[in-house]
Chains A and B, each alone.
Chain A
Amino acid sequence: MSVPKSASIVIIGGGVSGCAIAWNLANRGIKDIVLLEKDTLANGSTGRCGAGIRMQWAAEKNCRLAQYSVNFFENGNEILGYERDIEFEQSGYLIVAANEKEAEQFKKNVKLQNSLGIPSVYLTPEEAREIVPLIDTSQFVAATFCQKDGHLNPFHTTDAYAKAAERLGVKIFKHTEVIGIEVKNRRIESVETTRGRIATNIVVNAAGGWSKAIGAMTGVDIPTYVQRHQIMVTEPLEPILNPMVMGFSYNIYIQQVPHGSIIMGRSDNTEPLDFRTTSGWKFVEEMTKTCSKLLPALKTANVLRQWAGHYCMTEDAQPIYGPTPGVEGMYLACGFSGHGFMLAPATAQLVSEMILGEPLTIDVSNLDVGRFERRELVFEHSVV
């Protein structure tokens, strides 16, 4: 199966972002869109993520992006006409503050979130225990909770976007790798793949961890890097842990998914900065320690599997959206730093608007790639 000789837009990357952008553009009537994926859909960061969706952020921009995305996911099956289920369960996120300093920040966060219409609340440990009876209240000083946060199935969501895009005429090529990008007079001319060449003037770089390599094919340095992150999952259990429980200084996120398994992950700055997706022993030791402290009852649950994926990181842990200075026609949707899955609907909306020159639904002009050179970084502290 060879690729078409030309395309209006070539999207590189079959993760949730690439598929969502493809659908969004096609849904606006754009024809001849091609999406290229070197492996299978959702095989990179999307399919390896923790599958949490939250609106409780510290930076206003992230709150707005997440809010837009949650509104979309609430009607995702209907909008995308999906016959399976994207499994959006709004069972909430309980975020615990390990110390007074964190609690003070949380008060500010809730105030900001409420001002935007995000229904989060600030709780004492006792109030938090009413929501999560298993939690050890001696381990934190305060918490915030938002019932509208929750879980979403990454495989089904990507599948839903891809299927809807294909019905609108998008051609998706799995197992098709980009091996070169032809640039003439600083303008994209074509994309060379393992299945042939596609003439196009517009490329969307949604290649996640590989976005840097794609950028390099056009002679541009995209300031992203990869870092391994690990997760483990237990056997399916009766419903015992309704919301996602998360702690930033605790360095944990843990959630029982609708199927019954409990998924948990953490960050570790000593993790390798390359494409390794092997699993490590240190992670399991640290993870089980934190988990047993906060939720002691889980000690007897059986661990079924651990796995690893990578975050496509930027210096300020925020995404890069928009055109690439120096290469006309290359749009970036990368550097999601661990929250690309939950932001996909907003990503798709905004990148489509940028390509079509329409006004932006949410102003993300400061999330452009130029901010790193200008040293105008936009930090977000509420991340694991």
Chain B
Amino acid sequence: MLINTGVPTREQIERRLPSPERRARGPYAMVECFQEIPCNPCSTSCPFDAILPMGDINEIPMIDHDRCTGCGVCASVCPGLAIFIIDESVGDGTASVTIPYEFRPLPEKGETVRAVNREGCVIGDAIVTRVLLSKKTKTPLVTIRVSDGLVHEVRFFNLIDDKAVSDATSLKRKEEPITVDSACASDDDEIILCRCEGITLRTIRDLIREGYTTVDEIKRISRAGMGACQARTCGPLIAAEIARMTGQPISEIQPSAHRAPVKPMPIEFFLGGDSE
């Protein structure tokens, strides 16, 4: 399940694929964004209006593949690195995947890299065919060529000389459920855990150390979870961090209360028909 593992199901992915005819015609954007969060740069940045305007910022982006040219602007602006450009039109048994890649060093064109799937496992080799630097977003787009059977699996790559990373991620997937540690723990204290209110992981960790060990207490002191997403995004992350730091099972961490309305709604919406 996506919510537990961060990995979408096959069904979720297949629903996002364009028609076979469209896939044969040329590159297209594959939007692997499955959770409703307040985020819309893809839709506002598309030069071809292919990512449909969102009536509500929480909506999942919908794409009109007839308009999409596979240019990659959306892939470069997506803060979640959830958009990929797929090109299956070459017809020589290979296909390419363009990946937003925010690590350094960058690979070079022509370099062989290890292709990695959505679960973090190495599943084959790939050749880097393009490295595109975006001055605007500072998120480089790296295009790699893989055998066409892998194009819907490969979503990342490891540099070959980076042996440590390669070894760690090529381990076989463990059978036991993903632990809290691997699900959330980050070494980077400065990452933003609550995006609506701009609260960093460092703030959350400081509060837990200070003795605030429920999601609601952290919300009340820091505002984490009080914003537009109403803790739908950050709530589980904060609960996981509490579990990790206090050693309690995550099932025992009380989630914060969910309240109406589920999505922000204008005051006039509630006025109904009987207002004067």
Query: A76 contacts the other chain (Cβ, under 8 Å)?
Result: no
Knowing A289-B275, A301-B266, A305-B230, say if A259 contacts B216 (CB, 8 Å).
Answer: no
Tell me the bound Cα distance from A172 to B96 in angstroms.
Answer: 61
> Which of B143-151, B152-160, B217-225, B241-249 contacts the other chain?
B217-225
List the B residue with the shortest CB-CB distance to A236.
B227
Minimum distance in angstroms from B235 CB to a CB of chain A: 13
Query: A291 contacts the other chain (Cβ, under 8 Å)?
Result: yes
Query: A185 contacts the other chain (Cβ, under 8 Å)?
Result: no
Knowing A155-B221, A235-B228, say if A304 contacts B264 (CB, 8 Å).
Answer: yes
Minimum distance in angstroms from A182 CB to a CB of chain B: 30
Tell me the bound Cα distance from A287 to B267 in angstroms.
Answer: 9
Determine if A300 and B272 form an interchain contact, defined as CB atoms under 8 angstroms apart.
no
| A301 partner residues in chain B, CB cutoff 8 A | 266-267
Tell me the bound Cα distance from A300 to B259 in angstroms.
Answer: 20
Determine if B230 and A47 form an interchain contact, defined as CB atoms under 8 angstroms apart.
no
Which positions 112-162 of chain B face chain A at CB distance < 8 Å? none
8 more CB-based (< 8 A) A-B contacts, given A292-B275, A301-B266 = A40-B217, A42-B220, A47-B220, A284-B260, A284-B270, A299-B266, A304-B227, A304-B261
Knowing A289-B275, A306-B260, A307-B259, say if A299 contacts B220 (CB, 8 Å).
Answer: no
Tell me the bound Cα distance from A228 to B221 in angstroms.
Answer: 24
Q: Which residues of B are in contact with A by a Cβ distance under 8 Å?
A: 214, 216-217, 220-221, 223, 226-228, 230, 257, 259-261, 264-268, 270-272, 275-276
| B214 partner residues in chain A, CB cutoff 8 A | 40
Knowing A43-B216, A155-B221, A156-B221, say if A285 contacts B272 (CB, 8 Å).
Answer: yes
| A300 partner residues in chain B, CB cutoff 8 A | 266-268
Tell me the bound Cα distance from A192 to B227 in angstroms.
Answer: 40
| B257 partner residues in chain A, CB cutoff 8 A | 307
Query: A303 contacts the other chain (Cβ, under 8 Å)?
Result: yes
Query: A28 contacts the other chain (Cβ, under 8 Å)?
Result: no
List the A residue with the shortest CB-CB distance to B275.
A289
Query: A149 contacts the other chain (Cβ, under 8 Å)?
Result: no
Tell me the bound Cα distance from A302 to B267 in angstroms.
Answer: 6
Knowing A279-B259, A279-B260, A288-B270, say if A303 contacts B221 (CB, 8 Å).
Answer: no
The 10 closest A-B pairs by CB, nearest first: A302-B264, A155-B220, A299-B268, A288-B270, A288-B267, A284-B270, A305-B259, A40-B217, A299-B267, A279-B260
Determine if B221 and A234 form an interchain contact, defined as CB atoms under 8 angstroms apart.
no
Determine if B270 and A303 form an interchain contact, defined as CB atoms under 8 angstroms apart.
yes
A selection of 16 A-B contacts at a CB cut-off of 8 Å is A40-B217, A42-B220, A155-B220, A234-B267, A279-B260, A284-B260, A285-B270, A288-B268, A288-B271, A299-B271, A302-B265, A303-B264, A304-B230, A304-B261, A306-B260, A307-B259
Q: Which residues of A are in contact with B by a Cβ distance under 8 Å?
A: 40-43, 47, 84, 155-156, 159, 234-236, 259, 279, 284-285, 287-289, 291-293, 298-307
Minimum distance in angstroms from B194 CB to a CB of chain A: 13
Determine if B267 and A306 form an interchain contact, defined as CB atoms under 8 angstroms apart.
no
Tell me the bound Cα distance from A336 to B227 in angstroms.
Answer: 30
| A307 partner residues in chain B, CB cutoff 8 A | 257, 259
Determine if B261 and A303 form an interchain contact, defined as CB atoms under 8 angstroms apart.
yes
List the B residue with the shortest CB-CB distance to A172.
B211
Knowing A156-B221, A289-B275, say if A298 contacts B267 (CB, 8 Å).
Answer: yes
List the B residue with the shortest CB-CB distance to A259.
B223
List the A residue with the shortest CB-CB distance to B220.
A155
Tell me the bound Cα distance from A235 to B230 in angstroms.
Answer: 11
| A287 partner residues in chain B, CB cutoff 8 A | 270
Tell me the bound Cα distance from A159 to B211 in angstroms.
Answer: 11
Tell me the bound Cα distance from A317 to B229 in angstroms.
Answer: 37
Tell me the bound Cα distance from A291 to B267 in angstroms.
Answer: 9
Determine if B264 and A235 form an interchain contact, defined as CB atoms under 8 angstroms apart.
yes
Knowing A288-B271, A292-B268, say if A304 contacts B220 (CB, 8 Å).
Answer: no
Determine if A159 and B261 form an interchain contact, defined as CB atoms under 8 angstroms apart.
no
| B217 partner residues in chain A, CB cutoff 8 A | 40-41
| B220 partner residues in chain A, CB cutoff 8 A | 42, 47, 155
Determine if B267 and A84 form an interchain contact, defined as CB atoms under 8 angstroms apart.
no
Minimum distance in angstroms from B232 CB to a CB of chain A: 12
Tell me the bound Cα distance from A215 to B230 in angstroms.
Answer: 37
Tell me the bound Cα distance from A378 to B235 in angstroms.
Answer: 45
Tell me the bound Cα distance from A298 to B267 in angstroms.
Answer: 7
Minimum distance in angstroms from A17 CB to a CB of chain B: 17
| B230 partner residues in chain A, CB cutoff 8 A | 304-305
Tell me the bound Cα distance from A155 to B275 in angstroms.
Answer: 36
List the B residue with the shortest CB-CB distance to A156.
B221
- Most-contacted residue by chain B among A159, A236, A287, A304 (CB, 10 A): A304
- Most-contacted residue by chain A among B228, B261, B267, B270 (CB, 10 A): B267
| A156 partner residues in chain B, CB cutoff 8 A | 221
| B268 partner residues in chain A, CB cutoff 8 A | 288, 292, 299-300
Minimum distance in angstroms from A35 CB to a CB of chain B: 14
| A285 partner residues in chain B, CB cutoff 8 A | 270-272
Tell me the bound Cα distance from A145 to B271 in angstroms.
Answer: 29
Tell me the bound Cα distance from A189 to B186 in angstroms.
Answer: 51
| B227 partner residues in chain A, CB cutoff 8 A | 236, 304
Tell me the bound Cα distance from A304 to B261 in angstroms.
Answer: 7
Minimum distance in angstroms from A101 CB to a CB of chain B: 23
| B216 partner residues in chain A, CB cutoff 8 A | 40, 43
- Most-contacted residue by chain A among B220, B227, B265, B276 (CB, 10 A): B220
Minimum distance in angstroms from B238 CB to a CB of chain A: 14
Tell me the bound Cα distance from A191 to B168 in angstroms.
Answer: 55
Tell me the bound Cα distance from A43 to B257 in angstroms.
Answer: 12
| A303 partner residues in chain B, CB cutoff 8 A | 261, 264-267, 270
